Structure 1
Amino acid sequence: MPYLIPSPVFADFNLEASEYRPPADPMAVNFNILDSGEIPIQYPIPPGIMVTSSLAVELTSSAPVSSSGVGYSMTPAQKAVRRTLRVAMASKQFDGRSPQQWDKVVAKDEPITEGVQPWRAAAVKGPGANASGWDPVAIKDARRGGPAQAWDSSIRPIDQESGQGYGYPRAKDVIDRQSSIDSATYWEPEPAAILDGYAPGASDFNLISRPYNVPSAAVTDFNLDRHTRIIPPVIPTRPLFSDLDLQGWTTNKPADNRFRHPWDDKPRKGTEVDFDYDQQPPLPGDPPDEPEIKRTYIIMNSSSLIATAENMPLEFSDLTIELDIDSFAWKMSCSILNRQSMDLIRPTAQGPAEVIATVNGHQWRFIVERYSLDKRFAKERWRITGVSRPQLLAGPYAPKRTGRIDQPTNMALAMTNQVEFTGFTVALQDGLYDYVIPAGAWGYEGKTAMEVISELAAAVGAVVIPDRTDDILHIYHRYKQTPPWYYPGLAESDLDAVIQDSMVTGYSSQWEPQPEYNYVFVSGITDGVSTEVIRQGSAGDQAAPDIYDELNVEAQQCRLRGITALSAGGNQEIVTIETILPTSGSPGLIVPAMLVEYRDTRDSSATWRGNVLGVSINVSKPGASRVIQNVKVERHHY
């Protein structure tokens, strides 16, 4: 027969006849597990229950009372149920906050007498203790005087002192005056804590007395099993063989001194202050030679050009020797007047020829790099050019290399390493700051030795000035480590040369204004420091282009580099002074990076100072011919 859906009060699952169709109301489902419906189910009469305001439950007398107040006799089945309930309820200690057998389940968030909400903290039942299902859970990080909770051992301050002998170690910064009793050798583990699991009892599934009605989802709790959790002991971290518990950063004491003085302590690593004891300010130098004031200057010039291989003089004319501040080698050009002289300086299998030029006692050594022939009017004339020997450290003579600083190295040592095994040496200007490059802070790729040296010098605002005859590279600061606006206040001992107007045969000027900056930002890239260089007394509102370089590693080095950047700007003129080149005395041979003073003997207010940008010496022909020294000076107007 087909299955008929019963009334919505309950549902009977009879699966013998046809398929089951769920009722429309899911709350009306009732599980009748009996074999058939022939024998009617007789539910025993529930015992009388008296509920007081304190939720205490008491059983009535042996005889139930009807609604009319008349007693009646119970059936044997009712008496059996009564005995079962009496035994179960007598073994259970009722709590006013706990739901009873036939009572209403208490709300979860209902306040309790202790003022703690059930979901804040609940005390865990101790072994053998009867706790209600919704007892407050203790706060994890608080002590309530009872046993430790099963889940609170994960949050403990590591350095907190414990009162137990086997607890956590003492604070690291506290000196322990005891011997090594707390070492790991004598350590005994703390007994493992065995705690009961969480066993709530808000709902009681009793299917004996009457059919079970599913409570609302808000108060249902599933108590499936009682668990036991074992907390492993925490082994304290202690040295295996330790003496007194001293600080790990104690200072180094003298081994053979009983007394401790304030100057015995050595600062912690990384806090030492390095003083540049080897970089003391240089002593004041001697002032330049004072020019002699005469009505007439008589100069006996002498000049020659000699091939070094045969030590033979050459017939030449129009000899020019020059150097500018951004070049690292002197340059020479002249005309060779006959074939015999030219044959002495032609290149051979050993390489290019070398010549020595001498002008009024000043010598230069050059390598002849190229020549050209001019044949006109039945005359042969060769034009040759040459450079000084420092050109051998650059292309095309020197190979390109790649490297990186792998240990702290100062600038002078880094330059010396570039000219190792070449015969060249590096000489720094007196007082030039020698900065230190940290390990791994800087490297070079595909550069010759001269390119690397020039880069190292530019990082401190310096230039490479080659020696005239020897294989020496002089490193001079472009502005003598002093900005031009301080030139008028410098002492005469800071000057390198004095050019008096009575010794000047020519004077020309070219106005070349540049942006006037008073601020520049100098910074490293991966290492180093960041420095703001501001002209003293200015607002620092005219910023020059930022300078980023891996060699910006020290504040003093960045300051000198910033001085060079700020000194190049402002109103300035390039003055070319044509003067003599005496064998001795003022003005002498002037080279780039010198600080010179142009002295006007008729008007002292017209005297000014500037730094040399370049020099050129012109000789018309060998012997006692005319010699002219042309000096290019950068003059600033403030």
Structure 2
Amino acid sequence: MLTVSVSGAWRRAASSDLRASSLPWDALQPLNHTGSACWRIAGRADRRAAAVPWARVPSQDIGRVGAWRNTRQQDRPADTVPWAWVPVRDAGLSSGWDQSILIADVRLRLIYNPKPARKDVGVAASHRRVNEFGPRYNAQTALEDSLYVPGSGALLFEFGGRPYFPSTSPQVFFDFRYVPATPVIQPTDMRTARVGWQSATRLNRSAWMPWGRARQVDGVLTDMPYVDYPGPVKPLPEPPPDPEILDTYMIANTVNLVVLPSRTPIEAKNVRVGLDADSFSWSFSADIFTQAALDLVRPDAEGAKTVELDINGWKWVLLVERYSRQLRFPAEAYSISGATRPQLLAAPYAPLRTSLNSAPINAAQAAEAELLNTGFVLVWQATDWTFPAGALSYQGQTAMQVIARLADTVGGVVRPARDTDLVEVVPRYPAPPWAWEDVDTPISRIIPPAMMTELGGEWTPQPAWNACYTSGTSHGCSMLVRRAGTAGDNPTPDVFEDWLTDQPANQARGIHELSKSGNIEIVSTTIPLFPFTDDHGVGLVLPAQLCRVPEPSGAWVGLCLSVDISAEGTGAVRVKQTIKLERHH
């Protein structure tokens, strides 16, 4: 590192001084000499070299300037912020109430000068503890016990064993008074409303249901998503298809009667088969021609013979229970009659039983228990209810009698199958008559007037009942069932039934009794029995089914009470179906 120190006074330097003050150092290298500069006034030429000329910005810089133009539409969604609800996670930033204020924080006191007047001090109520468990205070008796009630004479005071008589002008006056103490408040309902700890009372012991096989009661699920209803969805019943209306109907009727299991054909005529709502099996009758045919079907020591009847594809499996014959020279006549297989559950085939339930049981379970080990299957579609222990009792009855009584208790009927060992228990009225015009009414058949060959009616009016009182006897409950929208001032005769042991049963029975009231017409009509595979006809109408009749004067709904099918003649027979409908006006 080189340090140079030069000092001197202010004066004009002589040219010789410049040389004397030169440093005794070796001459600089030529390349360093070029980098030295002397102090002097800059020439004008130096100014021009250092000056920066004014000029335009080169044209290439213009390309960097952004021109003004309208914003493209696609740029807007990227910059916009949509309105939306605050996310749920922001709720976690809220602070809850707690004991966060410390005693050290309460240090700031504001002194008012002048102090405000304490206006509310006079109305402030002091807090005292009430006397919950003390003796009951009675103001009247407490005053009588504490005060001395003097007599009519003068008071006599004794001081020091001698009587005291006040002077007429005493210096001291005595003032004797009694100030009762303010009693402590006592709750008035402390003793009467006291609740003790104990186990809850078991009120629903009769509603216990034993474990059994579950039954589907919601129908076929639609698998439709409902955001506000997580439960199963029961779809509305689909209305039956409208029959095809034609100018002429050509039906090739077929009637076949064979013996089972050999399937030997039997020639028969005047075949009739029918069912009504109060029967639990189809009835059957036919005429046969020869003794040989009678020997194939008449009952013997092994029991009743079984035959199969086929009418236009509709089949019935029947038991031949009775037969008759008339011989008159030169002609002979034979007839047979019987019923479908559910007749085996009644007398004289089924044994008599006596039973008493020892545990709570449902009506459907009780009916299924009657068919145990019989080969029959029960489908319960009527109202179900519970029997408490000891409520379901009967003596000397067959299985079908018990099932029919269970169905009749809630206004149901027993509807047997035609060719299988199946028994259905359905309500006689699928819907109350006043609701037959609703959209969700389960209509089973549509009978157009164009298909009717006969039509008749019978007017059978009934009282306009609007209320029904139902009750059990030794078990169960009682209920007044009133039709909605009415005063309930015209009740039916009271219904007392031993097996009305639960509220659903009472309600169903009351609705059934009210459904039999009003202006009723029994309509009888005859229509063809279309083949089983024909989807354009009416088909077979069963009891307890609702049928819609679209008459030109107005469509109406009727309840099927009975159906009767007849095949008259031999060979190319005429088959017709006669049904009775209950119509409410």
Q: TM-score, normalised by structure 1?
A: 0.56
Q: Is 1:484 the counterpart of 2:433 in the alignment?
A: yes
> Where do residues 480-629 of structure 1 align in structure 2 (5 Å cutoff)?
480=430, 482-491=431-440, 494-583=442-531, 584-585=534-535, 586-600=537-551, 603=552, 605-621=553-569, 623-629=571-577
User: How does 1:76-87 map onto structure 2 within 5 Å?
Assistant: none
SS of residue paired to 1:287: coil
The Cα shift of 1:440 comes to 1.3
CA offset digits 1:531-586 (Å, max 9, x no partner): 11111112211111111112212222211111111111221111111001111233
Offset of 1:348 from its aligned partner? 2.4
Question: Max radius of gyration: which structure?
Answer: 2
RMSD: 2.8
1:199-348 pair list within 5 angstroms = 247-249=197-199, 269-270=202-203, 279-280=217-218, 282-348=234-300
Q: Provide the C-alpha distance between the structure 2 equivalents of 1:627 and 1:115, rounded to a whole number of angstroms.
A: 113
Paired residue type of 2:250: I
User: Partners of 1:547 and 1:523 in 2: how far apart?
Assistant: 6
Matched, 1:384 2:333: no
CA distance in 2, matches of 1:426, 1:635: 30
SS at match of 2:270: strand
Who is 2:414 aligned against?
Answer: 464
Contact 1:335 1:382 in 2 (8 A): yes
Contact 1:279-1:433 at 8 Å conserved across structures:
no
Pair 1:378–1:542, CA change in 2 (3 A): same
Measured in 2, the distance between the counterparts of 1:634 and 1:280 equals 28
Aligned equivalent of 1:435: 385
Letter aligned with residue 358 of structure 1: D
Question: 1:172–1:575: structure 2 CA closer, same or farther, 3 Å change rule?
Answer: closer
What CA distance in whole angstroms lies between the structure 1 residues aligned with 2:503 and 2:479? 6
DSSP-derived class of the 1:298 partner: coil
Distance 1:466 1:112, change over 3 A: closer
Summarize deviations over 1:181-227 as a string: whole Å, max 9, x none: xxxxxxxxxxxxxxxxxxxxxxxxxxxxxxxxxxxxxxxxxxxxxxx
Q: Is this contact kept in 1: 2:237–2:440, CA < 8 A?
A: no
**8 A contact 1:573–1:635 mirrored in 2:** yes
Q: Find the counterpart in structure 2 of residue 451 from structure 1.
A: 401
**In 2 relative to 1, CA 522–377 (structure 1 residues): closer, same or farther, beyond 3 Å?**
same
Find out whether 1:418 has 2:370 as its counterpart: yes
Select which of 351, 354, 360 maps to 1:402: 354
1:371 to partner: Cα distance: 0.9
Mapped to 2, the partners of 1:631 and 1:613 lie a distance apart of: 7
Q: Distance in 2 between matches of 1:566 and 1:442?
A: 26
**Which secondary structure state, in structure 2, belongs to the residue aligned with residue 607 of structure 1?**
strand
Residue pair 1:534, 1:540 contacting (<8 A) in 2 also: yes
The code of the aligned residue for 2:506 comes to C
| 1:502 maps to amino acid | A
Other structure's SS at 1:374 match: strand
User: What is the match of residue 30 of structure 2?
Assistant: none
Are residues 278 and 421 of structure 1, via their aligned partners in 2, closer, same or farther at CA, if it must alter by over 3 Å?
closer
Cα separation, 2, equivalents of 1:271 and 1:574: 44
Distance 1:535 1:456, change over 3 A: same
Structure 1 contact 616–629 (Cα < 8 Å) conserved? yes
For 1:428 and 1:626, how far apart are their aligned partners in 2? Answer: 36
How far apart, CA to CA, are the structure 1 residues paired with 2:246 and 2:327?
Answer: 46
Shift of 1:443: 0.9
Cα gap change, 1:115 to 1:361, in 2 (>3 Å): farther
SS in 2 for 1:496: strand
Q: 1: CA distance between counterparts of 2:146 and 2:516?
A: 85
Q: Which SS does the other structure have where 1:457 is aligned? A: helix
Q: 1:621 to 1:536 in 2, by over 3 A?
A: same
1:13-59: CA deviation from partner (whole Å, max 9, x where unpaired): xxxxxxxxxxxxxxxxxxxxxxxxxxxxxxxxxxxxxxxxxxxxxxx
Code of the aligned partner of 1:590 = V
Q: Supply the AA of the counterpart residue of 1:474.
A: E
Tell me what 1:632 maps to: 580
Q: AA paired with 2:242? A: E
Task: Give the CA deviation at 1:521.
Answer: 0.2
Aligned-residue offset at 1:363: 0.5
Aligned partner of 1:409: which letter? I
| Pairwise CA distance, 1:310 | 2.7
Q: What is the number of residues matched between the two proteins?
A: 378
CA–CA separation in structure 2 for the residues paired with 1:553 and 1:113: 64
Amino acid at match of 2:434: W
Ranges in structure 1 where 5+ consecutive residues have no aligned partner: 1-110, 117-158, 161-170, 174-246, 250-266
Q: Distance in 2 between matches of 1:270 and 1:599?
A: 52
Change (3 A) 1:274 1:446: closer
In structure 2, relative to structure 1, the CA distance for the partners of 1:386 and 1:172 (3 Å cut) is closer
Question: What amino acid does structure 2 have at the position aligned with 1:291?
Answer: P
Residues 143-154 of structure 1 mapped to structure 2, 5 A cutoff: none
Distance 1:509 1:112, change over 3 A: closer
Partner Cα separation in structure 1 for residue 578 and residue 344 of structure 2 = 27
Q: Where does residue 222 of structure 2 map in the other structure? A: none
Aligned-partner Cα distance in 1 for 2:439–2:208: 30
With over 3 angstroms needed to count, the CA separation of the structure-2 counterparts of 1:475 and 1:113, relative to structure 1, is closer
Contact 2:384 2:504 in 1 (8 A): no
- Higher relative contact order at CA 8 Å, sep ≥6: structure 1 or structure 2? 2
Shift of 1:274: 8.8
Q: Equivalent pairs: percent with the same residue?
A: 37
Change (3 A) 1:628 1:269: same
The alpha carbon displacement at 1:377 in A equals 5.1
Match of 1:354 in 2: 306
- Give the deviation of 1:362 after TM superposition: 0.5
2 CA distance for matches of 1:385 and 1:373? Answer: 12
Letter of the structure 1 residue corresponding to residue 436 of structure 2 = Y
Read off the aligned partner of 1:473 and give its amino acid letter.
V
Amino acid at match of 1:489: D
Equivalent residues of 1:309, 1:353 under 8 A apart? no
The change in CA–CA distance for 1:296 and 1:527 in structure 2 (over 3 A counts) is same
2:424 and 2:453 mapped to 1: Cα distance? 30
Contact 1:301 1:623 (C-alpha < 8 Å) held by counterparts: no
Q: Which structure's residues are more often helix, by fraction?
A: 2
**CA deviation after TM superposition for structure 1 residue 516, in Å:** 2.1
Kindly report which structure 2 residues correspond to 1:86-97, keeping only aligned pairs within 5 A, or say none. none
Corresponding residue for residue 44 of structure 2: none
Distance 2:215 2:574 in 1: 50
Change (3 A) 1:552 1:113: closer
State the shift of 1:271 in Å: 6.3
CA distance in 2, matches of 1:453, 1:634: 25
